[in-house]
Amino acid sequence: MSLTMLMFLLNVLAYVLSVGPDGIIRPDVLYSYGLYLHNITVHPECLITYMFLHANLIHLLFNMLGLLTFGVQLERVLSTSEFLVLYLLSGLMGGLAQTALTPDVPVVGASAAIFGLLGCLTMLRPMSMMMFLFIPMPLALFAVLYAALALFVIQSGVVTQVAHAGHLVGMIVGGVLALLYRPSEALKGLLAVAAITALLLAGYWFLTHP
């Protein structure tokens, strides 16, 4: 069984075991196994368990779609150990980053880990196409646009139900690991990301300075 499928099954199983009749995560599970500052000192295992829990079915479905989309592609180029370290470390660091911003709000979800997969795949296959809101675009373009959105939301101090800091840090961890795993390929990906960033910044400057 592939690691992608194993993670998929673990997430689905955790969801089934953790939700109430309404399909929403039970409060006792959220506060025992979700990630927030106080819980790290009481239940340190929440650093791992939080990334296998989801708030509701929609949350699970979107994350599992991302897992299958990026995980299957990455397993073709990474070893089992590389993939596992990528997944868990991205989830861990992303969760800690989000907790630093919202220490009293329980965080659940696999999204930081999945954004780690996205960050790694972007560096290794920057021009691979993905669908976002039914619009095809290269991974590198999506990564740059999302990073800009996340930075804007974090800087503005707007509180949302989306863990933008966790996503962003997870994606950065994935990119860094790509550089460690496959330096020559990842450097080309980094150049692609830099070029797209420069083009978008130039376009923004021309639009705002007529």
Q: Any idea where the domains of the chain sit in the sequence?
A: 3-208
Least confident of 71-85, 172-186, 196-210: 196-210
pLDDT of 157: 67
Which residues, 6+ apart, have CB-to-CB distance to 67 below 8 Å? 4, 7, 8, 11, 110, 114, 117
For domain 3-208, give the fold.
Rhomboid-like fold (1.20.1540)
The per-residue pLDDT for 103 is: 94
- Give yes or no: 111 in active site: yes
Q: Is the pLDDT of residue 159 over 90?
A: no
Please state the rounded mean pLDDT for residues 152-169: 81
pLDDT, tens digit (0-9, with 9 covering 90-100), for 98-133? 999 999 999 999 999 999 999 999 999 999 887 777
User: Which residue from 87, 89, 63, 62 is spatially nearest to 74, judged by alpha carbons?
Assistant: 87
Q: Which of 32, 111, 128, 209 is catalytic?
A: 111
User: Comparing 47 with 135, which gets the higher pLDDT?
Assistant: 47
Across the chain, what does the average pLDDT equal? Answer: 92
Per-residue pLDDT, 38: 95
User: Which residue shows structure tokens 């995980």?
Assistant: 71
Q: How far apart are CA 6 and CA 154, in angstroms?
A: 33
- What value, to the nearest 5°, has the Cα angle with vertex 172 and ends 136 and 199? 50
- Rounded-to-integer distance, Cα 107 and Cα 167, Å: 12
pTM above 0.75, yes or no: yes
Q: What is the pLDDT of residues 27-85, one digit of tens each?
A: 999 999 999 999 999 999 999 999 999 999 999 999 999 999 999 999 999 999 999 99
Q: What pLDDT was estimated at residue 60?
A: 96
Identify the active-site residue in 59, 167, 184, 209: 167
Position 20 scores a pLDDT of 94
Percent of the chain whose predicted confidence (pLDDT) is above 70: 98
pLDDT band with cut points at 50, 70 and 90 for residue 16: very high
Q: Among candidates 197, 203, 91, 99, which has minimal Cα distance to 144?
A: 197
CB 153 within 8 A of CB 160: yes
pLDDT given at position 153: 82
